[in-house]
Structures are given as C-alpha cells and as structure tokens.
C-alpha cells in the first residue's frame, strides 16, 4: 500500500482548448484546433494575397498579409525546393502550423496570411521561431 493519493482533476479541459484571461478578469476558452477553415488551400487565394497584401520580412520567414471582410483568420504556408529536401520543408511547415495553432488568439479576425519559409528556419529552434512569429502576429494585430 502506498501513501500517495490520486490527484483530483478540478477544472480540467480538453487538450484542444486553452483558458485565457480577458481584460475584465474573466476566463475564456480558446480553441487550439487547426481546421481547414483556418487554412488557405486554393492557388487563386495565394495569388491574391501576394498581389494585394503587404509584405513583411523576418529572419525565418517572409509574410504577406491581406485584410478581408470575414470573421476568420487564415494561413497559407509555402516552402520551395530551394529551401531543402522534403524532410526539411515538412519540418518548416509543421513549425509554422504549430506556432499559428498555439497563438491563433493573437491574430485579428479577417486576415489572410501567407508565410514563405526561409532556409534559416530549418536549423532554428522552435522557441526562437515562435518568439519571432508572436512578434509578427502582434504587429499584424496593431495595423
């Protein structure tokens, strides 16, 4: 017989949600899922964001941001063969998706974002990239 008691689960959440404190001291649930409605998948949408959006350069990526009149924020990710082999390109895309998924609450509604990853992202640590990505999302939210 051991002396350890089972921990009680008070206020547990599904792993797909995070609790955030609003400006009024209230807690609110934010989904950390990444459904297809949060993705840019069509070539014509990518082109429109490239042509009409504003371009922002960072160490690990170049971002194109286009404001639109909808309720959702969407992201599209491109990684060219010039960046590296398929393993490196897929890792870069995974890092961007994860950073977006975890920090989606910072993105203003009605924004299409296209991220072109750079070669430097392949060797980057996730924390370094996420810090830069959060800075980018905060900049987008201000303008």
Write out the E strands in 41-141: 54-57, 61-67, 74-78, 111-117
Q: Closest Cα to residue 99, out of 127, 140, 73, 62?
A: 127
CATH number of 34-142: 3.30.230.10
Higher pLDDT, 117 or 10: 117
At 10 the pLDDT is 42
Name the helix (H) or strand (E) containing 4.
none
For the chain, domain boundaries = 34-142
Q: Does residue 11 have a pLDDT over 50?
A: no
Q: In angstroms, rounded to a whole number, what is the distance separating the alpha carbons of residues 116 and 65?
A: 12
Interatomic CA distance for residues 30 and 115, integer angstroms: 23
Q: What is the CA radius of gyration of the chain?
A: 18
Q: What's the pTM value of the predicted model, to 2 decimals?
A: 0.76
pLDDT in tens, 36-46: 878 899 999 99
Q: With CA atoms as reference, report the closest residue to 78 among 51, 41, 120.
A: 41
pLDDT score of 35: 74
Contact 28, 22 (CB under 8 A): yes
What would the two tokens of residue 107 be? 């993105």
pLDDT tens-digit readout, 78-136: 999 999 999 999 999 999 999 998 988 888 889 999 999 999 999 999 999 999 999 99
Cα–Cα distance measured from residue 112 to residue 46, given in angstroms and rounded to the nearest whole number = 9
């Amino acid at each position: 017989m051991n002396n350890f008691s089972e921990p009680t689960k008070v206020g547990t959440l599904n792993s797909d949600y995070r609790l955030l404190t609003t400006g009024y001291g209230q807690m609110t649930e934010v989904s950390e899922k990444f459904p297809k409605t949060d993705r840019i998948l069509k070539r014509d949408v990518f082109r429109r964001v490239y042509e009409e959006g504003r371009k922002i350069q960072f160490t690990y990526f170049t971002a194109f941001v286009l404001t639109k009149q909808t309720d959702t924020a969407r992201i599209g990710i491109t990684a060219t063969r010039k960046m590296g082999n398929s393993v490196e390109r897929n890792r870069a895309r995974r890092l961007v998706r994860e950073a977006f998924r975890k920090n989606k609450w910072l993105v203003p509604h009605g924004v299409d974002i296209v991220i072109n990853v750079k070669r430097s992202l392949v060797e980057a640590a996730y924390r370094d990239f996420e810090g830069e990505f959060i800075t980018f999302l905060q900049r987008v939210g201000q303008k």
